[in-house]
Structure 1
Amino acid sequence: MIQAIFFDLDDTLHDSQRPFRRAMEQSFPHPYASVPSDTAYKMFRHFSDLLWPAYCRGDVSLADLRAERIIRMMEHQGFVISRQEAERFQACYEREQQRIELFSDASAVLTELQEMGLLIGIITNGPVKHQAGKIAALGLDSAIQSEHIFISDAVGIAKPDQQIFEWVARQVGHSPGHLLYVGDTWENDVAAAMEAGWHSIWYNHRSRKPETDHQPLAEIRLLSDILDVWKGAEKEG
């Protein structure tokens, strides 16, 4: 029986492509604006994930990671930008991230799950101040208890390391088989959670392809589908 559901934050509870798109439009005039935003964002996330382990090891600074990911993304699209341009983009991107909103069905889903008696939490990668700022901007700091919000830099372990899920399970006092994780990325969210013995739901609203043979509890396109999946799992269990 599932007793707690944890969520990824970025691109799971809110559309993280929107602030990226706005920052691109403001920071890079023509011809940079011709880069398709969906393609650009996927590559931006790719390079961010690629550089993340080096940041976790202390091999690169956070500032270097943030500059390098946009430089590499633009290079992949055939454009060369300077470090100064990359830093201006990052400043704009951070401003836009303070204007983020929950996905339209997220608030109702979280409320209904809590009313069912489930523990609700967040597990997210990133610097504490940065992620906490987004959580506050979304109003999640008043909807979810602080002791159930886990940010990788505070924990000292980051996804896709399965140990962060094992650590969270110990903190909330539930066995992995009673825990469910919902996220949008395969490696960080689906595979990592399942390797730790958790159940997982893949929120695949970007229509990506699975990367391994892991079998999540469900693949969904809308967060509200979680309610039907959970109810179905409870009947079977």
Structure 2
Amino acid sequence: MEARFTTLLFDADDTLFDTTRNEEQTLAALFQEKGLPYDETVLARYRAISREMWGAFEQGRLEKAQVQHGRFARLARELGLSADTSDFFPSFHRLSLERLILEPHALEVCRELARTRRLYVITNGTAAIQRPRLERTGLAPFFTDVFVSETLGVQKPQPAYFERVLQAASAQPAHTLVIGDSLTSDIAGANRAGLHCWWYNRAGAANPGTATPDREIHDLAELL
């Protein structure tokens, strides 16, 4: 990595944490805890609903609480379940914290980068679980701060989100690099804010051309 990048802004979900696998295990555990039938159809439907609703949140069409709780209510409706989903969200995150999985090489890469650079987490996720996730996985010592959209009052990919992060971190745009897996949130947000960005594309997904990363990487070790 170029020496000019002294401030690194890491997305959390599916960049530092393997949220895809965590989500699969957590949803299965949640349905087992609630005594509800579970199979791959449930997971596929949940992911489709979650992807759609988080996309609406990024666009400012939904509030975060509507996504957090509403995805489970909608899932139950679409599956024809009569379950009361009012406590699904806190249960899901409790179970999620018990099943944390880091992306490959995340720990060693962050440890090495933190020797010479300042690392921050940038996320639209739930504020209450961000620091516990870092602490439980051993990442906490390598990060100077965590910037959560609900705390800042604006979400990725809005330019104002990145402006507030840069101000809080006393970082210069020319020396700041965004690293994330989401084209619509991380990369598009960095583009709109005029920041350099690397797309972490572990799955080898196609880029439809809606966002332009400076570089595409498939392993976090490529950051070294």
Provide TM-score, normalisation by structure 2: 0.82
Pairwise CA distance, 1:156:
1.1
* Residue type of the alignment partner of 1:3: T
Pairwise CA distance, 1:140:
2.8
> Which among 201, 205, 215 is matched to residue 202 of structure 2?
205
Structure 2 distance, partners of 1:48, 1:153, is 16
Aligned partners of 2:21 and 2:101 also within 8 Å: no
* Residue type of the alignment partner of 1:7: F
Unaligned runs of 5+ in 2: none
Go from structure 1 to structure 2 and tell me whether the alpha carbon gap of 1:195 and 1:90 turns closer, same or farther (over 3 Å shift). Answer: same
Paired residue for 1:48? Answer: 53
Aligned partners of 2:107 and 2:138 also within 8 Å: no
Structure 1 distance, partners of 2:218, 2:122, is 20
> Which among 9, 13, 19 is matched to residue 10 of structure 1?
13
Paired residue for 1:170? Answer: 167
The residue correspondences of 1:87-126 to structure 2 (distance < 5 A) are: 87=86, 89-99=88-98, 100-115=100-115, 117-126=116-125
Unaligned runs of 5+ in 1: 228-237
The residue correspondences of 1:79-228 to structure 2 (distance < 5 A) are: 79-82=79-82, 84=84, 86-87=85-86, 89-99=88-98, 100-115=100-115, 117-145=116-144, 148-227=145-224
Aligned partners of 1:4 and 1:178 also within 8 Å: yes
**How many pairs are equivalent?**
215
* Residue type of the alignment partner of 2:51: H
Pairwise CA distance, 1:36:
7.4
Aligned partners of 2:121 and 2:147 also within 8 Å: yes
Structure 1 distance, partners of 2:215, 2:75, is 31
SS of residue paired to 2:16: coil
Aligned partners of 1:165 and 1:193 also within 8 Å: yes
* Residue type of the alignment partner of 1:209: A
Structure 2 distance, partners of 1:204, 1:36, is 26
Paired residue for 1:19? Answer: 22
Greater mean deviation of Cα atoms: 188-197 or 65-74: 65-74
Deviations 1:181-212 (A, max 9, x none): 11111110001012111111111123333243
* Residue type of the alignment partner of 2:160: Q
SS of residue paired to 2:185: helix
Pairwise CA distance, 1:149:
1.8
* Residue type of the alignment partner of 2:89: Q
* Residue type of the alignment partner of 2:189: A
* Residue type of the alignment partner of 2:72: I
Paired residue for 2:39? Answer: 33
Aligned partners of 2:200 and 2:216 also within 8 Å: yes
Deviations 1:123-179 (A, max 9, x none): 11134223333333333333212xx32111111111111211122222223321211
Aligned partners of 1:124 and 1:152 also within 8 Å: yes
* Residue type of the alignment partner of 2:219: L
Provide TM-score, normalisation by structure 1: 0.78
**Aligned-residue CA RMSD in angstroms?**
2.6
Instruction: Give % identity.
Output: 26
SS of residue paired to 2:39: helix
Structure 2 distance, partners of 1:169, 1:27, is 38
Go from structure 1 to structure 2 and tell me whether the alpha carbon gap of 1:132 and 1:112 turns closer, same or farther (over 3 Å shift). Answer: closer
SS of residue paired to 1:121: strand
